[in-house]
Amino acid sequence: MYGQKIVSQLGLGGYLIGPTIADESPLEPGVFLIPGGAIDRPPPDRMEQGKAYRPAEDGDGWIEEEDHRQETLYRISDGAVYRFGAQQGDEAYNGVGLIPAWLTASPRPDAWSVWKDGVWERDETAWQAQVQARGRAEQERRLAQAGQRISLLQDAVDLDMATEADKAALLAWRRYRVEVSRVDLNQEAPSWPDEP
């Protein structure tokens, strides 16, 4: 019967994946056949979650490093998810070791946030511009809708075809159009008047 022993399987970058089995050679008793990518060294006695292990260069023991490969990291330049190993300027990060200053584990809360002093802060100028743009778009939509209703009702009045209900609706839609034009577009949630 041939013996077996536990050795360490390494992955890309030379970091420990886990233990694996090396079988004794049937041709050379006492010699073990080390699987490809493995080293003849037992894994650390105790391994912690969130840590990566690589063999110490002295031929014995292990070097423990922070392991962020199971986390989602974000670029502080734009808040985009970072793909491990991708170039960021002249640098890349493989997910092991301290998180570089150009990455964070904190997701960007919104499109208007910028990285400042180690946290995401809202860029008030960009946020306000977006709020106003959204408000203007909604205002234009409501004014166009009111204009269409008013135009049709005005035609009925001009052609002496309007009922009393048409005349009241025309007045209500005109009042609505004026109220829409006066809405404060600097608010995140403008207070729009009710449609007639």
Kindly state the average pLDDT of the residues 96-125. 95
- Joined together, the tokens standing for residue 187 give 């608010």
For 31-53, how does the pLDDT look when each residue is reduced to its tens digit (9 = 90+)?
Answer: 999 999 999 999 999 999 999 99
d(CA 60, CA 52): 16
> What pLDDT is recorded for position 156?
95
**Residues linked to residue 32 through DSSP beta bridges, in sequence order:** 24
> What pLDDT is recorded for position 2?
83
d(CA 138, CA 144): 10
Kindly state the average pLDDT of the residues 86-103. 93
> What pLDDT is recorded for position 171?
97
Instruction: Reply yes or no on whether the pLDDT at 58 is more than 90.
Output: no
Instruction: Reply yes or no on whether the pLDDT at 185 is more than 90.
Output: yes
Instruction: Reply yes or no on whether the pLDDT at 140 is more than 90.
Output: yes
> What pLDDT is recorded for position 13?
87
Kindly state the average pLDDT of the residues 122-150. 94
> What pLDDT is recorded for position 96?
95
d(CA 35, CA 19): 11
> What pLDDT is recorded for position 59?
79
- Joined together, the tokens standing for residue 27 give 């041709």
> What's the predicted TM-score (pTM) here?
0.65
